Amino acid sequence: MKYLIVNADDFGASRGINRGIIDAQRHGILTSTSLLVDAPLSEEAAKLSRVAPDLSVGLHVRLTNGGSKSVAAQGDGDHCRAELRRQFSRFEELIGQPPTHLDSHHNIHRDLRLLPHFLHFAREHALSLREHSPIRCFTKFYGQWGGESHPEQISPASLARMLEAELEKGVTELSCHPGYVDPDFSSSYAAERRIELQTLCDPLIRQFLAGQSIQLINHREAASLFATSAT
């Protein structure tokens, strides 16, 4: 059986991104999202998640060291561990329960100096960490590289082709970044978010998944699936 988690990063980053994520879950194939607990609209995101009970919410860790400089630049393990604990606690305050999964902004957990701390934290709290769990991660649904926009990469036809070619048996997570464009939100990845949203809500994609017998699940359901298979 092929299972697909569709997870949106950056929940809480802006009002438009929050709206886009909720719309992608209500009208499209989105099943999960990852929350930035210190973002300007994180509290709004938490409130929206309460009216979307089928949306599983994970922790999207963002690490900085006293400002905009990434902690990964210094390999600061102490700061990383402290931030993981603090952001986990803040997540529980906002959502009212622990996260269903763990990942990081710009995939900072890939840094080999920080990865051991993320792995330890994920094991401690029984969380799946992106790229370090039985869930295969699919990251090609992204409309920008080399400093240029590539909207063709995130079209419905392109997504269907990629999933048909690369989706394997078991559970796969498709990471995505849908949202509406806020005029006051500064990001190098802006117009592409609206295109991603349109693609995730396109009927062609649902038809494709049904035709391929691909079942949509969220991270909470995936955890139950693994627990059942282990018994």
Catalytically active residues, by annotation = 9
Report the C-alpha gap between 56 and 99 in whole angstroms: 8
How many Å apart are CA 138 and CA 90, to the nearest integer? 28
Which residue pairs, CB below 8 angstroms and at least 24 apart, start in 123-132? 125/88, 125/98, 127/58, 127/59, 127/98, 127/99, 127/100, 127/101, 127/102, 128/101, 128/102, 128/219, 128/222, 128/223, 129/101, 129/102, 129/103, 130/101, 130/102, 130/103, 130/104, 130/173, 130/175, 131/107
52: helix, coil or strand? coil
d(CA 101, CA 221): 11
Contact predicate 105/59, CB 8 Å: no
